[in-house]
Amino acid sequence: MHRILVVGGGYAGFYAAWGLEKRLRPGEAELTVVDPRPYMTYQPFLPEVTAGSIEARHAAVSLRRHLRRARIVAGSVTRIDHAQRRVTVRPADGPEFELEYDELVVTAGAVTRKVPVPGIAEQAIGMKHVEEAVAIRDKLLTAFDRASALEPGPVRSKLLTVTFVGGGFSGVEGFAELLSLATALLKNYPEISRDELSFHLVEAQGRILPEVTDEPGAWVVRSLEERGAHVHLNTQLRSAVDGHVVLSTGEEFDSELIVWTAGNAANPVVHNHTDLPRDARGLLLTRADLRIGTEDEPVPHAWAAGDDAAVPDLASPVPGAHTVPNAQHAVRQGKLLARNIVKALRGREPKQYVHHSLGAIATLGIGKGIFQYRSIVITGLLAWLMHRGYHVLAVPSWERKVRVLAVWLTALFFGRDIVSLASVQHPRDAFVSGGELPAELRVEDVVDPIG
């Protein structure tokens, strides 16, 4: 039986495997998906998970529940040896092992791009995974609780200061949604005033949201500033040691929460540990039909899609352009991958990938959004409703659609849940301490009990 191996269960990998299950005849091929996480993250929902508008589990689609004919291997691929038709897998526990295949699909996805800024590795949180979105939300809610018990001063100011680095869609949506949550929290925290909130968005370029044109991008900046945010354009983060933010403009402030969304980098296995051809950026050289290789020299039995694949953009008027790494392309490339692999197995010619953009749409908090399709720009409530409508239709499976809609309807009548569950990151603390405060918080250690 033909063995198909999918490396990565993100957008492109999930849709490719899902499509293969639907199209392969019984006994035609054996399908295996390797991913360290047991779910596909629907990343457009992460800003709303951050703001508490969507339950974290509803932004994750279980691989085992929806890929019922595939073998799911929980582990990370650390090396691809296509010459020998095998990959090396590192599981969470136990020794590494090898998997052999006849047909390879590489959809490993990108990772957060890191730069050597002092303090970032120790202080910042990314926003590519559900766990990160939940941690950001819990950190903000915990900061409100802590700040409400303090007198005005440096510690309280730091707790109420939030910094996002990166002005792309992920950063702007996450920033705007968290600002919306923080503003809504004020009615539950009479001890905190609106003027005490300090939200900073730092972008190295002269504009945000490169997917839209200049004027809509400028409108988003004005909208955020009218809501009290500080947008720092043409600005770089120089240091974040111990939460002390230093900007290239010379401005300095302390920030309890720092979120890093400044771009993506190729997955290490694609960039460093494979014999497959790559371009100067470390992305897999990919043909328009999603086979790895060049037009003149395709690599037999190797396919790629998504953020790690340099796929020619046949819909672009710019010669030599490649598709941008976003959800629109990853989903559609994954679906086409499934069709093309089945065609190749049955001796037919694969189809080339061509997709004309449906436009760009972003949520900017409850009731606020922006949509652009060519010269058509829609802002405000209508764009926000369009964002919700599009993504509830796009998230895979009716089960997930119904769950997301149910949470949205509940929030419409009762508002967002504002309980922080940050303590789940240390579930044994209460058991171990037996209710005792940590030593650093005990009153007798910092105050003279007699005096």
Question: Where on the phi/psi map is residue 402: left (φ > 0), alpha (ψ -120 to 50), or beta?
Answer: alpha
How many whole angstroms separate alpha carbon 318 and alpha carbon 297? 23
pLDDT of residue 436: 66
How many whole angstroms separate alpha carbon 60 and alpha carbon 47? 13
CA-CA-CA-CA torsion sign (123, 132, 438, 181) = positive
Residue 378: other Cβ atoms inside 10 A:
18
Nearest Cα residue to 311 out of 298, 327, 324? 324
pLDDT of residue 172: 97
pLDDT of residue 441: 45
pLDDT of residue 416: 81
Residue 188: other Cβ atoms inside 10 A:
11
pLDDT of residue 448: 39
How many whole angstroms separate alpha carbon 162 and alpha carbon 257? 5
Three-class DSSP category at 292? strand
pLDDT of residue 228: 96
pLDDT of residue 32: 97
Place of tokens 């290239």: 248
CA-CA-CA-CA torsion sign (108, 113, 114, 120) = negative
pLDDT per residue as tens, the chain (451 positions) = 899 999 999 989 999 999 999 999 999 999 999 999 999 999 999 999 999 999 999 999 999 999 999 999 999 999 999 999 999 999 989 999 999 999 999 999 888 887 889 999 999 999 999 999 999 999 999 999 999 999 999 999 999 999 999 999 999 999 999 999 999 999 999 999 999 999 999 999 999 998 899 999 999 999 999 999 999 999 999 999 999 999 999 999 999 999 999 978 888 999 889 999 999 889 999 999 999 999 889 999 999 999 999 999 999 889 889 998 888 899 999 999 999 999 999 999 999 999 988 889 999 999 999 999 989 999 999 999 999 999 999 898 888 999 999 999 888 888 887 777 777 777 777 777 776 655 544 444 434 333 3
74-79 own/partner pairs: CB under 8 Å, 24+ apart: 74/35, 74/36, 74/38, 75/34, 75/35, 75/36, 76/34, 76/36, 76/269, 77/7, 77/8, 77/34, 77/108, 77/269, 78/269, 78/273, 79/269, 79/273, 79/274
Any alpha helices (H) in 186-228, and if so which ranges? 214-226
Q: Which residues contact 79 (CB under 8 A, 6 or more apart)?
A: 87, 88, 269, 273, 274
pLDDT of residue 192: 96
Nearest Cα residue to 116 out of 35, 236, 287? 236
Locate 102 and state its tokens: 């006849």
pLDDT of residue 432: 77
CB 400 within 8 A of CB 59: no
Give the global pTM. 0.89
pLDDT of residue 437: 55
How many whole angstroms separate alpha carbon 232 and alpha carbon 207? 9
How many whole angstroms separate alpha carbon 401 and alpha carbon 398? 5
CB 37 within 8 A of CB 7: no
pLDDT of residue 182: 96
- For 80-116, the DSSP string reads EEGGGTEEEEEESSS--EEEE-SEEEE----EE----
CB 161 within 8 A of CB 244: no
